[in-house]
Amino acid sequence: MHPMLNIAVRAARAAGKILVKNFGVQADYNVQQKSQNDFVTEIDKAAEQAIVRAILKVYPDHSIQAEEGGDIVGKDADHLWIIDPLDGTTNYLRGIPHFAISIAYAVKGVVQCGLVYDPLREELFTATRGAGAALNDKRLRVTGQRDLNGALLATGFPFKRKDLSANYLAIFGELFTDVADMRRNGAAALDLAYVACGRMDGFWEFGLQPWDIAAGALLVREAGGLVTEFSGGHNFMQSGNVVAGNPKVVQGILSKARTHLPASMK
């Protein structure tokens, strides 16, 4: 295992204990609204602090990009950890058992390793650049689905970009006529992990953040899949607009979506 991945696993398990301990206790999570329909709790912050402590204890000069705490620019800016301590906060708040921790490690902007950890199911998805992806040490591959016909896709509504609602719904309708079904699970990092392990054939969403994508995108790529923007480009970490899956499914999604995209995405 990549040495940085070992650190990430240790950090994720520490945060996972916090999430599991407090899940479903009906306590006051001290919920705050960051923006419209976007929430943060004391549990998010505690889990993030546990991850940051575990990393900086070993690499105090590294930099960190985390959802709740913002950027920490260390002396070594080339080494960056990208962290989402609780992907699926709304699910967590509502007692829905579908959420995860996402941690990725990048050197000079290139993600080298990452993980998505579901602490309730004890499922640890890991990937190292050039060395493949695994679920609890079992090698992962994306599905061999040949086209959209019969495919199972995952997606997420653009609740932070409601200006794109019409575009999103048009693409949804276009895809839905061909695929077997679509799932909206509320945790993008887990959706990408599920694509990597073959539970889903593909995934698409607008307006994500780097911490939603970084680890999951590496999982998909190392499992033999593709991750692109809707234009077919590879700046999804910047744009937040993501299509992922096996190559043929990605090609099908891009083809169907093309005519319904706003000019800024083409």
* Domain identity same for 249 and 211: yes
Both tokens assigned to 75: 């002396």
Is 29 exposed, middle or buried (CB count within 10 Å of its CB: 0-12, 13-18, 19+)? Answer: middle
Q: Is residue 146 part of a domain?
A: no
Q: Is residue 144 part of a domain?
A: no
Q: Is residue 212 part of a domain?
A: yes
Distance CA 208, CA 217 (A): 12
* Domain identity same for 19 and 132: yes
The domain boundary, picked from 72, 106, 139, lies at 139
Amino acid at residue number 216: G
* Domain identity same for 49 and 119: yes
Q: What residues does 102 pair with on adjacent strands?
A: 84, 116
* Domain identity same for 73 and 165: no
Q: Is residue 147 part of a domain?
A: no
The structure tokens 């590879």 sit at: 234
* Domain identity same for 119 and 9: yes
Distance CA 84, CA 248 (A): 30
Q: What angle do CA 76, 78, 82 make, to 5 degrees?
A: 100
Q: Is residue 240 part of a domain?
A: yes
* Domain identity same for 37 and 120: yes
The domain boundary, picked from 107, 139, 171, lies at 139
* Domain identity same for 122 and 235: no
Q: Is residue 113 part of a domain?
A: yes
Residues of the chain with pLDDT under 50: 36-39
Determine the pLDDT at residue 38.
44
Distance CA 61, CA 77 (A): 8
- The number of domains in the chain is 2
Strands across the sheet containing 181-183: 181-183, 152-156, 202-205, 242-245, 226-228
Q: What residues does 228 pair with on adjacent strands?
A: 243
Q: Are 39 and 67 in contact (CB under 8 A)?
A: no
Determine the pLDDT at residue 108.
96
Residue numbers of the domain that contains 237:
152-265
* Domain identity same for 17 and 120: yes
**Region label for 243, one of left (φ > 0), alpha (ψ between -120 and 50) or beta (otherwise):** beta
Q: Are 252 and 245 in contact (CB under 8 A)?
A: no
Per DSSP, the three-state class of 155 is: strand
Contacts of 33 (CB under 8 A, 6+ apart): 39
* Domain identity same for 18 and 132: yes
The domain boundary, picked from 105, 139, 173, lies at 139
CATH of the domain at 50: 3.30.540.10
Determine the pLDDT at residue 43.
85
Q: Is residue 31 part of a domain?
A: yes
CATH of the domain at 221: 3.40.190.80
* Domain identity same for 83 and 176: no
Q: Is residue 224 part of a domain?
A: yes
pTM metric for this prediction: 0.93
Distance CA 78, CA 68 (A): 21
